A = this chain, B = another copy of it.
Amino acid sequence: MNPVRIGIIGLGTVGAATVELLNTNANQISARIGRSVVVTHASVRDPSKPRDCDLSQIELVSDPATLVSHPDIDIIVELMGGTDLALKLCQQAIANGKHLVTANKALIAEHGNQLFAAAHQQGVAIGYEAGVAGGIPIIKAIREGLASNNITSVAGIINGTGNFILSEMRDKGRAFDDVLAEAQQLGYAEADPTFDVEGIDAAHKLAILASIAFGIPLNFKAVYTEGITKLTAEDVNNAEKLGYRIKHLGIAQRSEQGITLRVHPTLIPQSQLIANVHGVMNAVRVESDAVGESLYYGPGAGGGPTGSAVVADILDIARTIDADAQQRVPYLAFQPDQLNDLPLLEIGAIESAYYLRLQANDQPGVMAQITKILGDLAISIEAIEQTEPAPDDRHATIIMLTHRVTEQSMTKAIKQIEALPTINGAITMIRVEHFNTRQSS
């Protein structure tokens, strides 16, 4: 059979790794799918710049528009990033009947609905495994491996930079800013780390995971997002002492009322497997009716892992390139006309346990005031700890863990407690997830 011909837009870290992987493992790739896969063209902004891959068999161009309309290219691999030019090029590629593979989570999360609609019209595939959790085949696991399941929850460590920072803060008692600077030096974090540490990158990935888990259209804007920039070494340390660990989680949950999508720091019991995912590694935990709990772990970024996912998508498309579009796995797991229409709920609607840290005047009656407010709102306390104030301080620090309650109630309680004259400053609130899974049978 004729080789499948690839055109790659962008030869940065992931693009170069993709070319190298297709070269190095060319024999086993054709032994797997029964035909060979060759990169015939690539577009780069600066053709004179040296690249970390063998370019001898590749025609380099500087204008990506020539790739998406090239008659001799079967699959366009978009690795340039961004959502403006990348969107236009992907739209053109689809219009020209090209299959598409991308590692661009922002593109899929923000414009996936229209891209999938266009691709469906044209009968072409779009692979985006590389967009979520790098080397972990999580899109495949959810869309295909768990296809017989009703999925009720997905929770993941889906930003390696953030997890590296939290791991360092915990292991070495370091401050956030200090670790971030090191992560930037190591190349784990961008010069502008906003996307990573404010949770935007994780929100993109969570929007994608939620869509394929629940069969709903992509809705990035509905993701409630809180970063890790305000976490203190004190909270990280308190969590450890209480038997928990703080992770920056993306959580998508489905209940009868609807769907909640959120990214925020979360206390997890240390006994949970996902609490033991350290450094730049990612992991996604899925809860579903037939299987119960399953978890997928691996490197979430880097050329090799991301290139691995790009090539896996290429091979899936190459294998079925002559097949009916109907025989492929649908873009968002469900047939395009069968997506679910579940309501998306506000963050106030979630139910969670909470960690609270507050400073109170060291005087009698304060604790009674606080517990009365909580009790009146039916919030029960799981644990409470008060540290004696330092000799030169008249404030005591109070740490509390609550049982599960709606966020609405919790927010109301916090406002009332903060309004007490005996309370000093704002209350720190971090959500707690126990992940108590029912035993599957």
Contact = CB atoms under 8 A, between A and B. Distances in A.
A290 to B, nearest CB: 4
Contacts of A319: 327-329
A393 interface: no
Contacts of A294: 135-136, 296-299
A141 B333 CA distance: 17
A21 B290 contact: yes
A278 to B, nearest CB: 8
A307 interface: yes
| Chain A, interface residues (CB within 8 Å), range | 35 or more
Nearest to A280: B439
A28 interface: yes
A303 B295 CA distance: 19
A250 interface: no
Contact of A147 (B32, B295, B334): B32
Interface stretch (A191-199, A310-318, A346-354): A310-318
A136 to B, nearest CB: 6
Q: How many copies does the complex hold?
A: 2
Main SS of the interface on chain A? mixed
Contacts of A316: 144
A135 B292 contact: yes
B273 A297 contact: yes
A317 to B, nearest CB: 11
A62 B334 CA distance: 37
A289 B276 contact: no
Leading 3 A-B pairs by shortest Cβ distance: A137-B145, A148-B311, A294-B298
22 contacts: A24-B289, A25-B150, A25-B290, A31-B335, A32-B330, A32-B333, A34-B335, A135-B290, A140-B141, A141-B141, A146-B312, A147-B312, A276-B276, A288-B308, A290-B304, A291-B304, A292-B299, A292-B305, A322-B327, A323-B323, A323-B324, A327-B327
Interface of A: 17, 21-22, 24-25, 28-29, 31-34, 129, 134-137, 140-141, 144-150, 215, 273, 276-277, 288-299, 302-305, 307-308, 311-312, 314-316, 319-320, 322-324, 326-330, 333-335, 338, 440-441
